Structure 1
Amino acid sequence: MKPVRLAAVALTTAALLLPLSAAPAAAGPHSGHQAAPHSNARFDRLRWAAPDDFLIGTAVAGGGHHLEQDYPDPFTSDRKYRRILAQQFSSVSPENQMKWEYIHPEQDRYDFGMADAIVDFAERNGQAVRGHTLLWHSQNPAWLEEGDFSEEELRAILHDHITTVVGRYAGRIQQWDVANEIFDDQGNLRTEDNIWIRELGPDVIADAFRWAHEADPEAELFFNDYNVEGINAKSDAYYDLIQDLLAQGVPVHGFSTQGHLSTRYGFPGDLEDNLRRFDELGLATAVTELDVRMDLPESGEPTEAQLEQQADYYQQALEACLAVEGCDSFTIWGFTDKYSWVPVFFEGEGSATVMTEDFVRKPAFHALRDTLKDARHERNPWGPWSPW
């Protein structure tokens, strides 16, 4: 039986409270993704263009690698960024501000300042929140990774963290990435680099879901990973594990693919089939961290052909999610190149988001908007907020 899906529907009314000031003007080449002739400014925004039961989200830039960049914290310092964040999206995911190293910097101290600010912002703007993440092998604080803890102490630390963080936002965060990237690309558990699995064994995964569910029984709890867009050894490992956990009564509610794609490689054409097989297990599915990076020319500016290929990847990913009944949450990993993580981690690659550093919309933005409009019209052609 699929979990009851209330968060997306509840947001529809909340979204009506937003001011309808004009969105940033479209600019740049966008052949093949022209606005519909009968659309209006309201539906020029992604969140308004989307079907009522569909969340369109973005990561909220801040924390993590941004602390090392030569600009102030994006979320707190950039008013235009926040305005677009509120106007365009019905869901937000803290990019780094809820990861262990940021929210739990010392063993006996939590830092909820930025996480609180994001959740407050989302509530003011009628947005859902995806919590990210509770159990991961990366971005853990030194006190945890380098500490000399017994198994009993580690279990207590993880239990306290999940209970404290999830419990703090109970009823305010709709979805949590409970276990993030627990398999390698060959479908093997990360028994070496994941401190929790290495020290406590695989059963700790089920415990993490149970503890999160106890802290907030209403939140949807997800497995989340990259390179699981298609049907492969890694996604097969999740498929098998989730079936085992469900058989044990573990409260696993969803499976999500991150979607960090590159135009170096072909689009994963079996994305829809992969999401559907998890949907048929009774799970929610989602795309949670989509971006499409590319190899930039010497000029540093992508060509029109590259932008069109990127737009095609974004559109195909969205269409795959929309085609699966239980996939009603679609998140891009940042909306502007100004704060993208990609150039920091992939030398020579970039331009991975749907807007330039100056917030100019790329063809990828128009591809998402038009695809959402089409889906809205198909699902509710004569509804009160139909753009047609």
Structure 2
Amino acid sequence: MARRAGGGLHRRAVLTGALALSACGPQAAKSQPAPLPPLKTLAPFRVGACVQALHLDDPALAALLAREVSQLTPEWQMKMEYIVQPDGSFRFDAPDRIAAFARAHGMGLLGHTLVWYAQAPEAFARLDENRIGFTDAYRNYILAVAGRYRGQVVGWDVVNEAVAEDGDGWRDSLWAQRLGAFDHIALAYRTAREADPDAALLLNDYNLEYFPRKRATYLNLAERLLASGAPLTGLGTQMHVAADVPPGEITRMIRELASLGLPIHISELDVSLTRAENKLLSRAELQRRQAAVYAEAAEAFMALPERQRFAFTVWGLRDRDSWLTAENAADAPAIFDNAGRPKAGAVALAEAFRR
């Protein structure tokens, strides 16, 4: 069996063995002679996962998070949909709990997200301009949320999914309508920096590997923010991809994002089986391709200069906790199975990270 220098198994051999192991079921997994080392111990950067506060009530998942990752992203409980109440007050119980768990386990915390086109809380939509101007309310929200977690977060997804799906400019939103398509974005970055002088401030988006035009518009927006003096300090690519994403597209995307010289965050990675467009592929073939996608993502990230590797985050550790499994119970997008055993995707990440 081919081996790498230092005695590690060659990646292809490891992946083959992992796939065979996963096909043999729980009994084979129990007999695995050498458990996979925690991912966070192998990577020379933060390895992250998303979490909801209720997940922390599951002792098995809490233990898996503590063992495997060094950064947490609140899945949705740091978004306006959770924090902003109908009367305009703010609710922080769930994000506070996630922040406390991260702090207790020596993990970084990624703030997600301050501004998202898809959310327009009732309190903002019916704002009484005689009492407070829209600009002041917008700034006050960012100052309150980013300021609350100042010194706790390693960074913020300041603006999420700003680019239109077809790449034709930027998305419309309440924020764009009231403050300007570009101005509301730049203002968010300036205000976030005011609230937290030390946090990384990222621009996060999705489908950048699938649509070159969207990717180009995303990069153009980043360049315009930098040219305007807005304190953009990193780029996030979500990477909710299917197992049949064409080989090489992820590598190409990451190389293009890296051209600006900013740190890159693979921010929400999962690899769906059921979203694959090629319906002729067998489940076994989709699982093989899934592992290959995880491998390509990790290898492309590892190829970045060290200063550009911000963090590598998977969107859920176990299949059962994934939003994709909630959408389709037949899916199995994560790197660990429902019992917390590493799948071939976890092995692929480990092999790439330990290089």
Q: TM tier, shorter chain?
A: 0.7 to 0.9
Measured after TM superposition, the shift of residue 143 of structure 1 is 3.4
Write out aligned runs for 1:336-355 (5 A).
Answer: 336-345=318-327, 347=328, 350-355=331-336
Contact 1:94 1:132 in 2 (8 A): yes
Distance 1:306 1:94 in 2: 29
Which whole-Å CA distance do the structure 2 matches of 1:139 and 1:60 have between them? 20
Residue 58 of structure 1: aligned partner = 49
Distance 2:221 2:107 in 1: 31
- Give the aligned partner of residue 167 of structure 1: 147
Contact 2:72 2:109 in 1 (8 A): yes
Looking at structure 2, the residues matched to 107 and 179 of structure 1 have their Cα atoms a distance apart, in angstroms, of 24
Listed one character per residue, the Cα deviations across residues 29-57 of structure 1 (whole Å, up to 9, x for unaligned) are 49xxxx9xxx976x611001112xx1111
Question: How far apart in 1 are the matches of 2:66 and 2:347?
Answer: 18
Read off the aligned partner of 1:28 and give its amino acid letter: S
Q: Higher relative contact order at CA 8 Å, sep ≥6: structure 1 or structure 2? A: 1
Pick aligned residue for 1:100 from 76, 80, 99: 80
**CA RMSD, aligned part only?**
2.7
Alignment of 1:318-329 (within 5 A): 318-325=298-305, 326-329=308-311
- Could you tell me which amino acid in structure 2 is paired with residue 61 of structure 1? Q
Displacement after TM superposition at 1:348 (Å) = 6.9
The 3-state SS of whatever aligns with 2:218 is: helix
Equivalent residues in 2 for 1:165-204 (5 A)? 165-192=145-172, 194-202=173-181, 203-204=183-184
Q: Does 1:243 align with 2:243?
A: no
Kindly indicate whether residue 58 of structure 2 is the aligned counterpart of residue 78 of structure 1: yes
Q: Report the TM-score when normalising by structure 2.
A: 0.83
Q: Distance in 2 between matches of 1:359 and 1:140?
A: 37
**Which of 63, 69, 84 is equivalent to 1:89?**
69
Which whole-Å CA distance do the structure 2 matches of 1:90 and 1:163 have between them? Answer: 26
Code of the aligned partner of 2:186? A
| Distance of 2:165 and 2:110 partners within structure 1 | 25
Matched positions, count? 321
Distance 1:229 1:123 in 2: 33
Deviations 1:60-99 (A, max 9, x none): 135xxxxxxxxxx222x20111111111001110001101
- State the match for 1:367 in structure 2: 348
What are the within-5 Å matches in structure 2 for residues 248-327 of structure 1? Answer: 248-267=228-247, 269-295=248-274, 303-325=283-305, 326-327=308-309
Task: Tell me which amino acid in the other structure corresponds to 1:364.
Answer: G
* Residues 112-149 of structure 1 deviation map (CA, whole Å, 9 limit, x = unaligned): 1111111111122121111100110224434334x255
Tell me the SS of whatever aligns to 1:143: helix
Provide the rounded CA distance (Å) in 1 between the counterparts of 2:129 and 2:272: 42
1:104 deviates by 1.9
Identify if the C-alpha distance between structure 1 residues 29 and 48 changes in structure 2 by more than 3 Å, giving closer, same or farther.
Answer: farther
Q: Relative to structure 2, which stretch is displaced further, 204-213 or 153-162?
A: 153-162
Mapped partners of 2:283, 2:316: distance in 1: 21
CA distance in 2, matches of 1:190, 1:231: 15
Equivalent residue letter for 1:243: E
- The two structures have a TM-score, normalised by structure 1, of 0.76
Cα distance, 1:296 vs. partner? Answer: 8.7
Q: Distance in 1 between matches of 2:310 and 2:330?
A: 30
Matching residue's letter, 1:311: A
Residue identity (%): 32
Tell me the equivalent position of 1:131: 111
Change over 3 Å in CA distance of 1:278–1:307 after alignment to 2: closer
Work out the CA distance in 1 between the residues paired with 2:263 and 2:300. 14
Residue 358 in 1 paired to residue 339 in 2?
yes
Distance 2:175 2:101 in 1: 32
Partner of 2:313 in structure 1?
331
Does the CA contact (< 8 Å) of 1:28 and 1:360 recur in 2? no
Partner AA of 2:52 in structure 1:
A
2:269 is aligned with what amino acid? L
Aligned twin of 1:44? 37
Asked if 2 retains the 8 angstrom alpha-carbon contact of 1:342 and 1:349, the reply is no
8 Å contact 1:231–1:271 — kept in the other structure?
A: no
Partner of 2:304: helix, strand, or coil? coil
Distance 2:171 2:210 in 1: 24
Q: How many angstroms does 1:306 deviate by? A: 2.4
CA distance in 2 between partners of 1:189 and 1:163 (Å): 28
Distance 1:156 1:283 in 2: 30
More divergent stretch after superposition (351-360 vs 311-320): 351-360
8 Å contact kept, 1:222–1:253:
yes
| Contact 1:29 1:363 (8 Å CA) reproduced | no
Which is worse superposed, 305-314 or 149-158? 149-158
Partner of 1:211: 191
Q: Distance in 1 between matches of 2:190 and 2:72?
A: 24
Which residue type is aligned with residue 321 of structure 1?
A: F
Which residue identity is paired with 1:239? L
